[in-house]
Structure 1
Amino acid sequence: MKSHKFAVGQTVRYSPGSKSYSAPADSYKVVRLLPAEANDYQYRVKSSADGHERVVKESQLS
């Protein structure tokens, strides 16, 4: 399996997709690298706008 694409401290763009209403598309800072779920790495990210943290999949980040 490949390694994480993004690093802690990196600023990323989150795109939740059409079926997710939990968080707006925005820029986030990677806070922690998490294990993969269903072959898609996960990250804990923090919103640049409101400071909220959430767990997102690598496929939702750019």
Structure 2
Amino acid sequence: MAKHKFAVGDRVALLHNSSNINVRPGVYTIVRAMPVTSQGCQYRAKNTMDNHERVFDEVQLREA
């Protein structure tokens, strides 16, 4: 079973790719690790600039 790479409170940067062009780039703080799905690990993260929360796949994130 997959294991989450990031923990609540970790600061991460969003990697830019064509699937997330409408998402504000920058640094996010992990708010919650979501249950592991067939797609892999996901996280709920809050943008440090505008406080909006979004769900990201782990492959979209790197350590900030």
Q: Same fold (TM over 0.5)?
A: yes
Question: Larger relative CO (CA 8 A, sep 6+): 1 or 2?
Answer: 2
| TM-score normalized with structure 2 length | 0.84
Cα RMSD between the aligned structures?
Answer: 1.4
| TM-score normalized with structure 1 length | 0.86
Runs of 5+ in structure 1 lacking a partner?
A: none
Runs of 5+ in structure 2 lacking a partner?
A: none
How many residues in Structure 1 have an aligned counterpart in Structure 2? 62
Larger strand proportion of the pair? 1
Larger helix proportion of the pair? 2
Task: Give the fraction of aligned pairs with identical amino acids, expressed as a percent.
Answer: 40
